[in-house]
């Protein structure tokens, strides 16, 4: 069946009649090519590339976290506590036990202890001054004997 007859509109145009800017179809291919073929290739976000980016980001974040924790820790904890403070935390019994077990402890060491706190140290060590003097005299005699 003839379409125009079917429409019963013999004077209907086949051209829709829209206006187009002059030279539009001369410039359109160039604009399309600039958006496609001539455009810089987009960087592909492959799984491998994504993994490396993620790993770098995690490493950076971890480093930042470590610095932050270290900084906070220095604010709350004293890095160089005094000797008295450290010793105060150790029981007298532990100190005594250490001195008893310490094989390399010599009389000279004991002689140096009173220089710091004589009375207190002798009490801690449970050493009598007469015993110390006797030992010291004996050592002097032995040295004299060796010298001869």
Partner 1 sequence: MEDKEILEKFQHPDSRNLAFNQLVRKYQQKVYWHVRKMVIDHDDADDLTQEVFVKVWTNLENFRKDSQLYTWIYRIATNECLNFLSAKKKRFFLPIHDVAAELTQKLESTDTLSGDEVQLKLQKALLRLPDKQRLVFNMKYFDDLKYEEISEILGTSVGALKASYHIAVKKIEEYLKKD
Report in angstroms how near the CB of residue 75 gets to partner 1 at its nearest: 55
Cβ closer to partner 1: 26 or 146? Answer: 26
Cβ closer to partner 1: 33 or 111? Answer: 33
Report in angstroms how near the CB of residue 40 gets to partner 1 at its nearest: 14
The DSSP H or E segment spanning 15 is: none
Q: How far apart are CA 19 and CA 95, in angstroms?
A: 103
Among residues 2, 23, 38, 101, the one that binds partner 1 under rule CB under 8 A: 38
Question: Is position 47 an interface residue for partner 1 (rule: CB under 8 A)?
Answer: no
Tokens standing for 124?
């801690």
8 A C-beta contact, residue 111 and residue 136 = yes
Tokens standing for 115?
């220089």
The DSSP string of 28-70 is HHHHHHHHTTTSPPPPP--HHHHHHHHHHHHHHHHHHHHHHHH
Among residues 2, 22, 23, 35, the one that binds partner 1 under rule CB under 8 A: 35
Site for partner 1, residues 11 to 30, rule: CB under 8 A: 11-21, 24-25, 28-29
Question: Is position 7 an interface residue for partner 1 (rule: CB under 8 A)?
Answer: yes
Among residues 2, 22, 23, 31, the one that binds partner 1 under rule CB under 8 A: 31
Task: Please give the size of the binding site for partner 1, defined by CB under 8 A.
Answer: 27
The DSSP string of 60-102 is HHHHHHHHHHHHHHHHHS-SS--HHHHHHTS-HHHHHHHHHH-
Report in angstroms how near the CB of residue 8 gets to partner 1 at its nearest: 6
Interaction site with partner 1 (CB under 8 A): 3, 6-9, 11-21, 24-25, 28-29, 31-33, 35-38
């Amino acid at each position: 069946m003839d379409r125009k007859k079917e429409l019963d509109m013999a004077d209907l145009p086949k051209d829709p009649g829209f206006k187009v800017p002059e030279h539009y179809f001369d410039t359109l291919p160039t604009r399309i090519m600039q958006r496609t073929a001539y455009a810089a290739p987009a960087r592909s976000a492959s799984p491998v590339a994504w993994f490396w980016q993620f790993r770098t980001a995690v490493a950076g974040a971890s480093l930042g976290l470590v610095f932050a924790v270290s900084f906070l820790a220095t604010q709350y904890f004293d890095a160089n506590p005094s000797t008295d403070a450290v010793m105060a935390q150790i029981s007298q019994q532990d100190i005594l036990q250490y001195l008893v077990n310490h094989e390399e402890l010599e009389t000279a060491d004991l002689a140096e202890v009173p220089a710091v706190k004589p009375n207190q140290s002798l009490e801690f060590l449970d050493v009598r001054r007469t015993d110390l003097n006797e030992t010291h005299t004996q050592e002097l005699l032995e040295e004299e004997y060796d010298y001869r």
